[in-house]
Amino acid sequence: MKIITFIKNWMLPIAMAVGAASYYIYVSIPALDATHEVVLKAISYVQPTLLFCMLFVSFCRMGIRELKPRAWMLKLLAIQVVSFVAMGLLVVWMPEMPSRVVVESAMICMICPTATAAAVVTTRLHGNANVVVSYTCLINLAVSLVVPAMVPFLHESATPGMTFEISFLLILAKVFPLLIMPLVVAWLVRHLFPRFHAFILRQPNLAFNLWAVSLSLAIGVSVKALVHSEESLWNMVGIAIASFLCCLLQFVLGRLIGRKHGEPVAGTQSLGQKNTVFAIWMGYTFLNPVTALAGGFYSLWHNLVNSWQLWRVRK
């Protein structure tokens, strides 16, 4: 029983350690070399499926009326959008700056939308998950508009033909299945399959356990990206520091704003916990591919912060 309790209490650090260790063990077995591409492709399907299920379980516990946005969320949106645009303009005005890749990495960390798992962590921290889900919808909409508008000015040669419409549709296709569809399915289950809906409600740890598995996969993918990166050590250190500072800044600002409006936990998680899989994809798709490392580093930082917060709640 002590072992089970220990695992439950330290689920996040254990999941992170398992993800990193699994990658190194897997690549060290020569007999499995031929399976690398197949496994990577399988993970690309398993990860979004886990996120879908996790958000579906969260939506089953809340009604659509409870997801109405709050006026104070505009402050969170302003922090993300204004910082992204300001750094983007800096890159446009100074395209040859030596630390450009670090600035672009910070841009990704600031504009990256809230993680779908943020509602799960908010619940564990005794916060208002409805607020987090509502803000997740808002920031994804904002990202769908702001990023396509900014990208053509940042990398015209790297993204030929990347018009606003194409960028908008790419991002929409990325976020719609994992944000809107779980809400629709949860609503249908609530009204058409009440027994199954009741069964879901009787599983209080289901969403958190799904997140632990998803986190292990995300850490494994992040470790792979870091190991195979050919970027200079100086830039990697710069990206790591930039992602850490962005993470710390957003957790602090989110708590300050949320506390002022009676939602300290929701504000913290809404602004601080990011969809790092989306951040990695955004770096590869729209900016310098090296900036995708920022998503990997941010994944480490925000999960360490979450582990610390969960430890504090237990104490």
User: Helix, strand or coil for residue 274?
Assistant: strand
Task: Return d(Cα 168, Cα 157) in angstroms, integer.
Answer: 19
pLDDT of residue 269: 94
pTM: 0.77
Segments in the chain below pLDDT 50: 157-158
pLDDT the model gives residue 163 = 65
Mean model confidence pLDDT for the chain: 82
State whether residue 284 is helix, strand or coil: helix
Predicted pLDDT at 162? 60
Cα→Cα distances 72→52, 112, 115, 131, 257, Å: 28, 19, 19, 11, 8
Tokens of 38: 């197949």
Q: What is the pLDDT of residue 157?
A: 44
- Of 243, 234, 88, the C-alpha closest to 151 is 88
Q: CA–CA separation, 109 vs 82, rounded Å? A: 13
Sort 14 into a burial class: Cβ within 10 Å, 0-12 / 13-18 / 19+.
middle
CA distance 241 to 294: 9
